[in-house]
Chain A
Amino acid sequence: MPDTGDILRLENLEVHFPIQGGLFDRVLGRPAGVVRAVDGIDLTIGHGEIVALVGESGSGKTTVGRVITKLAQPTAGRLLFEGADMTSVRGLSALRPYRHHVQMIFQDAYQALNSRHTVFDIVAEPLRSLRLVENDAQLTERVSEALAAAGLNPPGDFFARFPHELSGGQRQRVVIAGALAVRPELIVADEPVSMLDVSIRAQILQVLVDLRDKHNMALLFITHDLPLAWLIADRIAVLYLGKLVEIGSADEITFNPRHPYTVALRDATPQIHTDADRSKLPALQGEVPSAARVPKGCRFHPRCPLAFDRCRQDEPPAIEVGPQHLSACWLAN
């Protein structure tokens, strides 16, 4: 395909986890089930593009992030990075060049940092293990650069400090600095601000946006918060039970959502200014079903206020409903 603009491409990606049946099931020869965590998604991320992956817990958004960073192995589909098929590349040394280009920021900065290492060692760790520096002077320079880019200034003040001496916002910056140190081209950020105080969030988001603006870094921003996704992303992809239900530009998804689930997400988000055009659809009842028992037809139909016969039978394909705007809903036709 001629899309050379894409840094990352997911093609029909599937991650199914087998359920270990009990002894009773095995004796009776009952087949073990599967949890369809990610159930066939197509997604591209361009160079320097910020894509937000939005979904509730259990939607599979974190699993997608883990596949991209090669922390989970897909059961089907392909993962292409700069056109090269990375799906079956495994093993520490084979993945070293890839890890140099793709980094992950985890949600919980309290757990992601080794409490017995200094900030310097934490940020230096990926540089050392990926063998990106030749001497100590270079190492110090790269660590300083990463800390400064993550907004920890002056960097020298933080070298000898331990995570417990830092505030929550500073800790999250150290996590970001660790990811930045190797100068990646793509960062997968899994809920990077959800644990932070509101007044700190904007600072961290600013750091991420600056990285894109200055270094043309691409970002996959995983979140459950639609307004936050709108704030930071160029495009938003909405995930429900392992499948993308809608994808489009941040403005299109926010102001002109075409899938009932996206509309429900928008309506459920508490707002400080009540708009007149809200709550056109009744609020959703119930919860996301288990990924081990994905409903037949459209997987959203049991909760969809607009579901009709066809939704219970056939799974809707993603259909273009606007420029660069796809929605997997029979009503979109």
Chain B
Amino acid sequence: MTDFSKDNAPLLEVDRLSVDYSLKAVSARAIENVSFGLRAGEAVALVGESGSGKTTTAMAIAGLLSANALVSGGEVRYRGERLPIDDDAAMRPHRWSETSVVFQGAMNALNPVHRIIKQIAEPCRLKLRMSRGEATARARELLELVGIPADRGTAYPHELSGGMRQRVMIAMALACRPSIVIGDEPTTALDVITQAQILKLLGDLRSRLNLALILITHDLSVVAEACDRVMIMYSGRIVEDGTVGEIFAKPKHPYTKLLIDSIPNPAKGKRMIRPIPGDPPNLVSRPSGCAFHPRCPSAMAVCTTEVPSLDPLGCGRVACHLHQSLTQEDKIAAHA
């Protein structure tokens, strides 16, 4: 009873996290009450459109929020201990050593005037206090790990293709043996064939190094290939959370259903996909109640006034009034 099984305790717990951005005159809430757990070796995806808060959630976990961001509620715990996510200096020992990030634009994230081997060796020297020789040896090892011949380490970033650069980014993220890697749209700028190669690499590394992976993406089909669990975000909240199989086979939230329907799927026959009406809301003037209600085909009266809570359903969670016990008036209103 007292001996809590280590395998079951989440590695990372995000607990009712809210983050606000202060803009010129206004304050915009980017994420609200985001809660989830991540186990060692687990791969979860945060899926959402621009402005859904997926990147803010991930950057908060890595302690990389921008200067105008404020953690207005909740906390993040790593191995049971609270992380100082709003204190850049205090996060430093944790970042890269425990949680590292593969950024989206591998073109911009690499230093153009240094050879890649030096860039990969740098975190080893700074964080792991390795000597130059040790760090270079480690960098060569890392290059081989991500499928680049170690001799290519003398290349400059501009001499590499997009896929190779993304591999270098992954090698850098793995340099200090983290247990969590956050991938911020790691394959978005890549061609399909390269994308498939990078997804396969991430999957292989995950099982070899028992990495936990948080994949941020707007593309649900990428998730199906790479993750165990997926959380759908809309306008700063998690609206649905479930296993990949469950979400694709039986989506519960209307937004998830529409997202899945908007992926062209030749296997399902012809043809034109059903558009989701309207535009994603902006963060400053978020709709009342459920933020999705103005675009939702099954919106009811209650959706315009009350924010649905993220409640357990089956093996996942969903935040939708359709799946909460309805009052009699709401049912009547829904049919009216």
Query: What is the CA–CA distance of A248 and B33 in the complex, to the nearest angstrom?
Result: 50
In the bound complex, CA of A58 to CA of B224 (Å)? 27
Minimum CB–CB distance from B31 to chain A (whole Å) comes to: 18
B224 touches A272 (CB 8 A): yes
Would you give the shortest CB distance from A57 to chain B, in whole angstroms?
6
Q: Which of A169, A197, A203, A284 has the most CB of B within 10 A?
A: A197
Interface residues of A, Cβ cutoff 8 Å to B:
56-57, 167-170, 197-203, 205-206, 209, 224-228, 230-231, 254-255, 264-265, 267-275, 283-285, 287-288
Partner of B265, one of A167, A197, A203, A227: A227
A197 to B222, CA, bound (A): 14
Question: What is the count of residue pairs linking A and B with beta-carbon distances less than 8 angstroms?
Answer: 117
Contact yes or no, A57 B279, CB < 8 A: no
Q: List residues of chain B with CB within 8 A of the CB of A201.
A: 262, 273
Please tell me which one of the listed residues B196, B222, B248, B277 contacts residue A283 in the complex, with CB atoms under 8 A apart.
B196
CA distance A199 to B69 in the complex (A): 27
Task: Determine if B308 is an interface residue (Cβ-Cβ < 8 Å).
Answer: no
Task: Write out the residue numbers on chain A whose beta carbons fall within 8 Å of the beta carbon of B265.
Answer: 227, 271-273
**Contacting residues, chain A, for B268 (C-beta < 8 A):** 273
Residue in B163, B194, B260 whose Cβ sees the most chain A Cβ within 10 Å? B194
Q: Which residues of B contact A264 (CB under 8 A)?
A: 193
The one of A228, A273, A287 in contact with B194, judged by C-beta atoms closer than 8 angstroms, is A287
With an 8 A cutoff between CB atoms, is B200 at the interface? yes
Query: Which B residues touch A230, using CB under 8 A?
Result: 264, 266
Q: Mark B150-189, 1 if CB is under 8 A from A, else 0.
A: 0000000000011110000000000000000000000000
List residues of chain A with CB within 8 A of the CB of B311: none
Contact of A265 among B193, B199, B267, B279 (CB under 8 A): B193
Contact B199 A270 (CB under 8 A): yes
For the residues of A in contact with B, the DSSP-based class is helix
Cβ contacts under 8 Å, B248 to chain A: 272-273
On whether A206 and B260 interact (CB within 8 A), knowing A199-B280, A268-B195, A270-B224, the answer reads no
- Whether B263 pairs with A198 at a CB distance below 8 angstroms is yes
Q: Would you call B266 and A287 a contact (CB within 8 A)?
A: no
Q: Which residues of A contact B24 (CB under 8 A)?
A: none
**Chain A residues near B222 (CB, 8 Å)?**
270
5 contacts between A and B (CB under 8 A): A56-B191, A197-B49, A198-B219, A199-B276, A200-B280
Verify if B192 is at the interface (C-beta below 8 Å from A). Answer: yes
Assembled-state Cα–Cα distance A264/B194 (Å): 11
B314: CB under 8 A from chain A?
no
Q: Give which listed residue, B49, B193, B199, B200, contacts A198 with CB less than 8 A.
A: B49
> In the complex, what residues of A have CB within 8 A of residue B288's CB?
none
Cβ contact within 8 Å between B272 and A199: no
Q: Are B259 and A203 within 8 A (Cβ)?
A: no
A254 and B266 contact, CB distance less than 8 A: yes
Q: Are A270 and B196 in contact (CB under 8 A)?
A: yes
- The contact string, 1 if C-beta is below 8 Å from chain A, for chain B 251-277, is 000000011101111111001111111
**How distant is A255 from chain B, measured CB to nearest CB, in Å?**
7
> Which of A202, A206, A255, A271 contacts B224, CB < 8 Å?
A271
Docked pose: A279 CA to B275 CA in angstroms: 30
Out of A170, A269, A271, name the residue touching B279 (CB < 8 Å): A170
Whether the Cβ atoms of A202 and B221 lie closer than 8 Å is no
Chain B residues closer than 8 Å to A167, beta-carbon distance:
279-280, 282
User: Do A198 and B279 contact each other (CB < 8 Å), given the known contacts A270-B195, A275-B267?
Assistant: no
Interface residue from B192, B264, B267, B282 paired with A56 (Cβ < 8 Å): B192
In B266-306, the 8 Å CB interface with A consists of 266-268, 271-277, 279-280, 282, 295
Separation of A228 and B268 alpha carbons in the complex (Å): 13
Known: A205-B275, A265-B192, A270-B196. 14 other contacts (CB 8 A): A57-B162, A167-B279, A170-B279, A197-B49, A198-B263, A200-B276, A200-B279, A202-B275, A203-B275, A227-B263, A265-B193, A270-B222, A275-B267, A283-B196
CB atoms of B49 and A202 under 8 A apart: no
Q: Which among B50, B263, B275, B277 is the interface contact of A272 at CB below 8 angstroms?
A: B263
